[in-house]
A = this chain, B = another copy of it.
């Protein structure tokens, strides 16, 4: 059955869940577009609901054979779509729990990037993607860092949000854990000493501050070492995702 009315209760319900705050309250994520949906499915996320436009029924049969899709007319799909050029494919998936404990690797060669207060979704997504690429153990986000299941974050991760653990912790919880586990803590700070991977060892965690203000004094003072990325030009600082990536890249040489 193809739903042709915008007033259909299922359409109204899904339309509500396309707003991130509503989806978050219900513990789900609305994903739209072939790339985002296929990345999530191929990474083992299960579809709670499948929503396709009438011309994309074959997609649903191929990618979500076990779920009866909600089939909408193209005009109704366009109504719920959040994109300019709807691809006629959307999913609801269960929001993964942000891991409650900080994971570690059997060989103890752990690298953690801790984001105290990252505000830009593109930066958070890019950092999650980089952390996956460079083999980091987890991305740890502070209470005020933006929602990792925000649409822009998911897009920027290119699927990595489904591959690497993302853990939400207060800075106090982080330092408690790292101190007990004997994990070196590095503050990325303009007053730090020049990053030199030969002076570092694993396991280690590095802390990245807010885009505008950097790390808070409190977090900086609790880290065991301050490091900075050597710069030669006139720019005073780097984009937060670039800084996190350069350090992640250097530390990955120790893996």
Interface residues in chain A, defined as those with a beta carbon under 8 Å from any beta carbon in chain B: 122, 126, 129-136, 156, 158-160, 163-164, 229-239, 241-242, 245-246, 249, 252, 255
Contact of A135 among B233, B241, B245 (CB under 8 A): B233
Q: Which residue of B lies closest to A231 (CB)?
A: B133
Please give the count of copies of this chain that the complex contains: 2
With contact pairs A134-B233, A135-B232 given, residues A129 and B159 touching in the complex (Cβ less than 8 Å): no
Nearest CB of chain B from residue A113's CB, rounded to whole Å: 13
* Chain B proximity of A147: nearest CB distance (Å): 19
Q: Is the interface of A mostly helix, strand, loop or mixed?
A: loop
A238 touches B133 (CB 8 A): yes
- Give the Cβ gap from A202 to chain B, nearest Cβ, in Å: 12
Smallest CB gap from A156: residue in B: B239
A164 contact from B135, B136, B233, B246, Cβ within 8 A: B233
Of A122, A156, A160, most B-chain CB atoms within 10 Å: A122
Kindly state the separation between the CA atoms of A232 and B133 in the bound complex, as whole angstroms.
6
